[in-house]
Each structure stands twice: as structure tokens, then as C-alpha cells.
Amino acid sequence: MLSSGSRFFSSDSLRSIYVGSAVGVWIYIILRAIFVPLVHDEASTFFHYIHREEFLPYRSHWDANNHILNSALGIFFYKLLGSAEWVLRLPNLLFFPLYAFYTFRLSSLLSSTSTKYLFRFVFLFAHGVIEFMALSRGYGMSMALLLAMCFHFISFLKNSETRDLLAVLGFGVLALVANFNLMVSFLLCLIWIMVVICTDGKSKKLWRISLVLLGGFIPVLMASVVAFELKRQGLLYYGAADGFWEISVLSIFKLLFGKTHWTYEIFIVLFFVWIVATSFFRIFKQSVIKSLRDPVLVFPVLLLAGLSAVYIQNKWMGVNLPEDRTGLHLFIYLLAALFFLKPVLSGRAFRWSSWILLPLLWFPVHFIKQANWSHTTLWKNECMPEKFYDAIATDGGAGGYYASLGGYGIQHMIWYYYNYRNNGHGPMMSYYDYPAWHYDYLLLNPLERSLQNVEKYTLLLENPHSGIGLYERKHRAKRETDTILTIKNLPITTQTEYVDFFNSAAHSFGGDSIAVDIYMELTSPAKPLIASAVVSFDKPDGSLLYYQYVSLHWLRDSYTEQNSAFRHVFFIPALPSDVGRLAIVLWNQKKVPIQIRLANVVISRIR
């Protein structure tokens, strides 16, 4: 049934159709890279790694958000071309041809012509995978590198060529550096290669073993050290401790298709059972040594080993179960295993096995249904275009106070990015007390948009994809000025880590909500200037009660004589009656020279 397609198209024409389709998809994701608004994880990558030009573990911000290869390439293109969305996404865009090329090469290992082309178009039009090729994350590039590694791994099993071994090591290390979730897959390939080398009658065993140790196991060991440090610091937070079906399986379907459905669950069970049964059937029909070099078993083994590793890491090591994108490689293995195992059950008795691939025709159909350049499938609820920022960027405040903006935390980095792109002239966003109703403007998610206090605001804009609404307060909250601080003896030049603007007992503020307006004019040779304005309250016993900060490099690249102003208002939610000290500080994290030319602080009570 599936082989009938070759009757209507020649091999050359089908190849041309694939190439044309790949070019079309590449143009599509380029448009997405230009027009789709940044999501939180991308903006965080920009501010924590790309803008600071720091990406190496132990020398940069500790977080699982750091996909090292993406951060490194992002820094290169940022320095070369600037900070536009498409520039930050350029590294992944450039990996798409590699993905399309190795999709083609892997399909060439299949025997049936119709199966080859179905493989190509399923992988080419898997929208949930292709989306990552137009995002500043490590997942898109890692999938391209993973397919390249798998192709050369299969080629090595078949031919034992050194060039394929080198390619496995090269692509495997790059895939690992792009996405630490591929560590188990790469390690399994290395162990598999070592077994094949040791059981191979060919010469150069010692040289090849040394090559695998140096070019494979040492990078895995280094990545393991980093991964354990992330776990020690509690930074492997994505996913959940239990609920494999809901967290790992269904979340991947939501990633790929934008939703879950009971039919998907049925198909995944059928696919998995078929893969396991067919794989064991294949192994029992041949010797173990022959199975070691069997290309058909590569993807099933990667899938089963990956699932086993998930169980072991979760139950014995306390690692969270993978969720959506962190388990994307497992779905790649499942898809590829279906194709590679198809010819195992052959003959009249198993003609039905061709039908196992028929549901995969949904991928191209779904791609066409989901095609857009307005939002991402996985982060649809975060979609917030720049027009939200433009709507209030020129509001400088009223009555001598700065305009204030509150919103849900997952939007704050996106807002900061818009502010940065506009040279930091708009208000920054606060999210510590979300939802609170004393802000001049509010960014509200759909759940909070139905709350009663929303009546105090007028809706300015809403996004149809995420349901986020931008609101303006009908009557702005009153601020009663309590303390005005004008720092004297300026300008001063300092390299100290902390500059105190206010550090004193704050008992009188107990029970109130507080606004702290800060205006500074400062210059520094550092670019970017890694410093933060900090407001913190202590309890009477000296322990921390409240802490909020805004980094100066979130507003602009540098602070020069022509562009030296920093302004922000901190809103502190209702304080308990027993408050200890209030500290308002400039934190010079890198201890670079800073000249403070002007500094005004106004502390007000919100009524």
C-alpha cells in the first residue's frame, strides 16, 4: 500500500519535491524568527548569557537555561549583528539545513521508496520540532546534531570507518553541549562503539579506543560534573517528581500538537508495544554479535535505554521526570524506530505492518493547520507583542512619580527585552506581588482578568493567542511622600561592591505598602554594566523579609555621559507590623569603576 507512491513520481522528482519543501520550511521558520515575539526563556538567555558574554559553566550564571552551544553562538552573532529577535535565533536557523540534510540521509538507509519519503516529510513537517529551529534555545540545534550523530553511528556499525567514528564524536559532543538531556544517548553510543571495537577483528583498536575515551567519555564526564552541580543547587527544576504519563508522555504531545487527545494516547501505546515486540523478534532471529551491528535496532535501543535512564534517574537519583521539550529526543527515537522496524515483519502474514505508519501522515496536515508567525505552540500563553510596550513607553508618570507596571513573573524578562531594545526609556515591570491593584498599568493573564478588582482598570490591549491583557488604572493610586533623599557630595567614583543610598530602621513603615522611586545619573567604562538597584527589608531579628532588584544592564548596553539616566519605581506589598531595617543599595557586582553624578530616592506610602 505504501509503496504505490513510486509509480507516479520518479526518484529525482521526489528528491526535488523534498528539497523544495525543505527550502519552503526554512523560509517559513526565518519568518517566524523575525515576527514571533520572544518568550521568557529566550529573553532570560539573552540577559543572563548573551548580553553579558558569559556562557561557560563556573564562569557564568548558574541555571539549566544555559544551553551552552546556543549561548556561545548567540554571543558571536549578537556582537556581530545586534540584539534583534532574528539575530538571537540565527544559530538555530542555521542548523535547520543540517537537520533537513540528515533527515534525508537517514531516510536513504530505508529500503522502501515510499517509506523513505514518508520519513522525510514526517520529520520535515513535525511542527513541534521545527518550531525550535526559530527559537533561541538549544533544542532545535540539538535535534539536528542528534540526527547527524545517529546517521554516522549507524554508518559506523555497518562499515567501521574512522571518518564515521570521528563524526559521531564531533556531532555527539556538540549535541551534548547544546542539550544536556542527550547525555545518556551519547553515552550509550560510546559504550556501544567500544563493544563493537573490542569485538572487531580489525586493527587500530587501541587508537580507536583512545579516540573514544578522549573525544567522547571525557566530554561526557565534564558534562556530568556540571549536571550534578546544577542538581546540587536545585536548578534541575523543570518537570516533576512523579506522574510519568501526564508529565512526560502527554506533555510531549502537547508540545508537538498544541493539545492532548485520547487518540494520541491510544496510538502511543500501540506504537510502543509494536516497537518492543518487533525489536525482540529481530534480536531473537539473529545472534547477539550481529544485533550489535544491526542498524534497525539503533533507534529502538536508544528509545528503551532513554526510558530506562529516566526511570533510574527519577527513582534512584531524585531527578525530575522530563517534560515536553526535555523529552523531545525520546519522541524522535520513537518516530525513527517505527520506520526502521517496518521491514522486520515481512511476508504475507505481516502485510498489515505497513499500516503502522499511516497515522504519521497527520504530521504534514497538522503542520499546515498550525503554520503561523505570530506565536509558538509550547509558549502560546506567553505571547506578548512589542505593541504592548509601545502603548505605555512614553508615560513618564504623574505628580512627580514614575509610572508603574505590574504583571505575572513569566512576562517580566520579555518586557525587559522590549525596554532594552528601546534604550530603557519605558517603565520596568514588577511581579513580586502579582496580582496587586496599586500599579498604574497591569499585565494580566486570563485567570486574573476575571477578578473583581479589574474594574479599577481600563483594558488597553489584549492578545488573542495568550489572552494577556494590558490595563490602565482609571484613577491612579495615591502616593504620600514620606522621605526624600538627595545624595550629597556628588559626583563620586567608586569600585566598591555596595553603595548605600538608605540603610536605616524602618519601623514606621510597618503595615503599609511602600513605593521607592530611584533616579540616578551614572557613568562607567564597563559594557555591559553588571550592577543592580536593590531594595530590601529585614525583620527585627535581622533575617530577610523582602528583596527586590532591577539590573542596570537590562535597560541598556552602557552608561555614558550622553546616556546616563536610570529610573525605576519599586512597589513593596503590604508589610507586616514588625519591620526591622530598610536598605536601598546600588550593587556593583563586578566591582568596576562607577561614577555617580546624581542620585535621588523618594520613599512613599501607597494609599
- For residue 454, the domain's CATH number is 3.40.190
What was the pLDDT predicted at 4?
39
Percent residues over pLDDT 90 in the chain: 63
445 and 489 part of one domain = no
Cell of residue 308, nine digits: 530506562
Number of structural domains (the chain) is: 3
Residue 489 within any structural domain of the chain = yes
519 and 591 part of one domain = yes
545 and 461 part of one domain = no
Q: How far is CA 404 from CA 140, 219, 233, 398, in A?
A: 37, 47, 34, 10
For 331-375, what is each residue's pLDDT tens digit?
999 999 999 998 776 654 455 566 778 888 889 999 999 999 999
For 60-97, what is each residue's pLDDT tens digit?
999 999 999 999 999 999 999 999 999 999 999 999 99
More confident residue, 346 or 197: 197
What was the pLDDT predicted at 302?
96
569 and 495 part of one domain = yes
Nearest to 321 by CA among 214, 242, 211, 434: 242
What was the pLDDT predicted at 401?
80
**Going by DSSP bridges, is the β-strand pair 469-473/492-494 parallel, antiparallel, or unpaired?**
unpaired
Whether the per-residue pLDDT at 6 is higher than 50: the answer is no
Residue 595 within any structural domain of the chain = yes
Q: Compute φ and ψ for 494, nearest 5 degrees.
A: -145, 155
DSSP-H helix ranges across 82-161: 85-88, 90-107, 113-124, 127-130, 139-159
Residues 541-570 have a mean pLDDT of: 91
336 and 393 part of one domain = no
Residues 129-147 have a mean pLDDT of: 96
415 and 513 part of one domain = no
Residue 109 within any structural domain of the chain = no
Residues 131-140 have a mean pLDDT of: 96
The phi-psi region of residue 472 (left if phi > 0; otherwise alpha if psi is between -120 and 50; otherwise beta) is beta
What was the pLDDT predicted at 2?
36
Cell of residue 519, nine digits: 533616579
What was the pLDDT predicted at 347?
52
448 and 539 part of one domain = no
Place 103 in a pLDDT band, splitting at 50, 70 and 90: very high
Q: Of 351-360, 436-445, 499-508, which range is least confident?
A: 351-360
Range of the domain at 567: 479-606
Residues 256-276 have a mean pLDDT of: 86
Could you tell me the sign of the dihedral formed by the alpha carbons of 132, 70, 300, 106, in that order?
Answer: positive
